[in-house]
Structure 1
Amino acid sequence: MFAEERYNRIAELVASEGRVTVAQLAARFDITKETVRRDLDLLEKDGLLRRVHGGAVPLASASTRELSLTTREERNQAEKARIAKAALTMLPAEGSIVLDGGTTTGNLAALVAQEPVEQRLIITHSIPVAHALIGSGQQIEFIGGRVRGLTSACVGSGTAARYRSFRPDIGFIGTNGVHAHFGLSTPDPEEASVKAAIVQSARRVVVLADSSKLDEEALVGFAALGDIDALITDVQPGPELTSALADADVDLVIA
């Protein structure tokens, strides 16, 4: 294969697969990793992809890029439903539970609403999550603040401070990225502040993240892997992330 042909094929792979690694490309094209890195550097200069640690992603995968809640609800629906069902088995029969904003936690809220337990207190700052639970018989503590239109969740210093004043039994958190080195991250600083407050306050922290979030980094980190207790996802993470989760003593659940 000529270099130009390989160059074009790599650009196509990044666009179609969403993320490629240097090791994968080296094996696929039977070339050295150094050659792959040079190809990726050239492709980035030509504006055809964005380099990330260990590989490349499409140019649109910027650290601040964030899809609307409506758009995210249409993606990976089956995987999110499986993750929510696995999370449901972790809910205590009584006590206090935080449900973060997001589509997967929204799936969990819908399941919780079908099995109301009066001894549970559900705490949330997400309008869709609260709406799913209203009328279900659950006790609900809604944490207010400025509503962020993109996620329909409350943010701001008051929202974060309110969470820091609690000590819930378990918190279910969404994230835009789960990375071996950068930990958990999200594009918006105010969303990150609220998520960090939940992680710091909950006695047990469970992350709900479908496979599109694995090995990804968004702009703002809000927790290290060592800050969480469990990750529920739909596929086995890659070797590096799997090893990092094990080193951080994080329970990995494949739904």
Structure 2
Amino acid sequence: MYAEERQQAMAQLVAEHGRLSVNVLAERYDVTTETVRRDLSSLERMGLVRRVHGGAVPSDSLAVIESGLIERDQANTPQKERIARAALELLPPAGSTVLMDAGSTTNRLASLLPRDHRLVVLTHAVPVAARLAGNPQVELHLLPGRVRATTQAAVGADTVAALERLRADVVFLGSNGVTAEHGLSTPDHDEAAVKRAMVHCARQVVALADASKVGVEAPVRFASLDEVDVLVTDTGIDPADQATFAASGMEVRTA
């Protein structure tokens, strides 16, 4: 197979699978990993793929268009359900303060919170608050701010200022993307500012992100890997990514 033919096949394979590692591509095309890296560099220059740590993702994985809450909620539903259930193991002791971010997986976690475990819950997300309003063991606090239609979450200077005055035992965060190079990221600057404030006011930071988010870089970073204590994801995560994340000091749990 000529180099041009191999590169075209690689680009198509990456587009079909969403993410492929250098090792998998080298084995598939019976070439060295160095050859694969050169091929991927060529494809990236042509705008056909985007190189990430250990492999490549489709060029449109650097997402600038933010999908709506309903659309996100319908994607990877089984994985998000498993992640939310696994996150229950990270709940702090009764009487603790929990901060809950906006997102389809954090919404599921809110629905699963036990009704015999007393918690103070702070959130800026209207859907999370709606799910918790009827839980008799939750003392619910809704943060102020302008509610974005896309995420149905409060953002802005008032939200950030409120978070700067708070201290939570644990925060459960959503993320549009997770990579070793760019950390945790989201498309919107206002959302990123709120998430960053959440990270800074929590004793423990737990990110909930299914494997489709790994390898994706949204434009605005709100946390580096070393600022996150635990990533709860699904078994679809690439082992190389899992090892890289763990080497940064972040615990990775798969559900």
Q: Shared fold (TM-score greater than 0.5)?
A: yes
Contact preservation (8 Å) 1:118, 1:139: no
* Worse overlay, 202-211 or 96-105: 202-211
* Worse overlay, 234-243 or 153-162: 234-243
* Worse overlay, 44-53 or 131-140: 44-53
CA distance change for structure 1 residues 90 and 56 in 2, over 3 Å: closer, same or farther? Answer: closer
Which runs of structure 2 are paired with 1:152-167 in the superposition (5 Å)?
152-167=152-167
Structure 2: state its 5+ residue gaps: none
- The question of 1:140 aligning with 2:157 is answered no
Q: TM-score, normalised by structure 2?
A: 0.89
Contact preservation (8 Å) 2:228, 2:250: yes
RMSD of aligned alpha carbons = 2.2
List per-residue Cα deviations over 1:78-129 (Å, max 9, x = no partner): 11111111111222322211110000000001112xx334731111000111
Q: Which residue of 1 aligns with 2:178?
A: 178
List per-residue Cα deviations over 1:3-52 (Å, max 9, x = no partner): 44323321221111012233322221012344434433444455433344
Post-superposition offset of 1:166: 0.6
The whole-number CA distance in structure 1 between the counterparts of 2:11 and 2:236 is: 26
Letter in 2 for 1:67: S
Post-superposition offset of 1:154: 1.1
The whole-number CA distance in structure 2 between the counterparts of 1:40 and 1:248 is: 25
- The question of 1:110 aligning with 2:115 is answered no
CA distance change for structure 1 residues 26 and 244 in 2, over 3 Å: closer, same or farther? Answer: closer
Contact preservation (8 Å) 2:49, 2:59: yes
Q: Which residue of 1 aligns with 2:230?
A: 230
Which runs of structure 2 are paired with 1:25-104 in the superposition (5 Å)?
25-91=25-91, 92-104=93-105
The whole-number CA distance in structure 2 between the counterparts of 1:3 and 1:245 is: 32
The whole-number CA distance in structure 1 between the counterparts of 2:243 and 2:117 is: 39
Letter in 2 for 1:129: V
* Worse overlay, 93-102 or 7-16: 7-16
The whole-number CA distance in structure 2 between the counterparts of 1:252 and 1:222 is: 19
* Worse overlay, 50-59 or 222-231: 50-59
* Worse overlay, 73-82 or 222-231: 222-231
The whole-number CA distance in structure 2 between the counterparts of 1:44 and 1:248 is: 26
* Worse overlay, 172-181 or 80-89: 172-181
Post-superposition offset of 1:70: 1.1
Q: Secondary structure at the match of 2:59?
A: coil
The whole-number CA distance in structure 1 between the counterparts of 2:167 and 2:62 is: 35
Deviating above 6 A after TM superposition, structure 1's stretches of 4 or more consecutive aligned residues are none
Contact preservation (8 Å) 1:231, 1:252: yes
List per-residue Cα deviations over 1:111-148 (Å, max 9, x = no partner): 12xx3347311110001111111222222100121112
Contact preservation (8 Å) 1:180, 1:240: no
The whole-number CA distance in structure 2 between the counterparts of 1:96 and 1:28 is: 49
The whole-number CA distance in structure 2 between the counterparts of 1:45 and 1:70 is: 35
The whole-number CA distance in structure 2 between the counterparts of 1:128 and 1:76 is: 19
Structure 1: state its 5+ residue gaps: none
* Worse overlay, 96-105 or 171-180: 171-180
Question: Between the two proteins, what is the percent identity of the paired residues?
Answer: 47
CA distance change for structure 1 residues 214 and 127 in 2, over 3 Å: closer, same or farther? Answer: same
CA distance change for structure 1 residues 44 and 158 in 2, over 3 Å: closer, same or farther? Answer: same
